[in-house]
Amino acid sequence: MNAPEAAPRLGDHPFLRGLDPGLIGLIDDGAVRRRFPTDARLAREGAPATEFYLIESGKVALEIEAPARAPLTLQTLGPGDLLGWSWLFPAAPWRFDARALKPTVAWEVNAARVRDALDDLPAEGYRFLLRMIPVVSSRLEHARLQLLDVYGP
């Protein structure tokens, strides 16, 4: 008989792997594992960014609305990726739309709890933010490349 499969844990997500267990525990405290069907919206541009997502499986498109055309896909995210950085700043809105391209499972993480945890554990908060910088940089770079494609010769 096969052993039952272990329940997925937030701390197993690649973005969090190797961080202090105390910080992961604080992050996990406000997290919910969610399933999104194809075409479901995980985020809407302009809506309050009160959460972020750690993608476990599936595929998510980061999109912006473009006048007189279909939404423009800036980047496609998949397993192991983090969706969302606007939440780092209280009362900030989502900068992009996020739509499931296929059935997706992701951890929805409460942003306020994470900001509090980063304040309570500053050394670990610093390590966490060092992981966030490449995410923000990547999103900005993908947006820049799409703009070059749209407005190029």
- Region of poorest pLDDT, from 37-51, 117-131, 135-149: 135-149
Distance of CA 3 to the CA centre of its chain: 32
Per the structure block, which two tokens stand in for 11? 């701390």
> Buried (b) or exposed (e) across 81-97, using 16+ Cβ within 10 A?
bbbbbbbbeeeeebbbb
pLDDT of 149 over the 70 cut: no
Could you give all domains of the chain from N- to C-terminal order, each with its CATH number? 22-147 (2.60.120.10)
Q: How far apart are CA 69 and CA 66, in angstroms?
A: 6
pLDDT of 74 over the 70 cut: yes
pLDDT, tens digit (0-9, with 9 covering 90-100), for 28-49 = 887 999 999 999 999 999 999 9
- The pTM for the full model equals 0.87
For β-strands 51-64 and 97-110, DSSP reports them as antiparallel
Residue 93: in which H helix or E strand, if any?
none
Q: How far apart are CA 47 and CA 62, in angstroms?
A: 14
Please answer whether residues 116 and 125 qualify as being in contact, where contact means their C-beta atoms are separated by less than 8 angstroms.
Answer: no
pLDDT of 70 over the 60 cut: yes
Listed residue (96, 72, 75) closest to 151, CA to CA: 72
Q: What is the pLDDT of residue 148?
A: 66
Biggest CA–CA distance in the chain, Å, is 63
**What confidence tier does 67 reach under pLDDT thresholds 50, 70, 90?**
confident
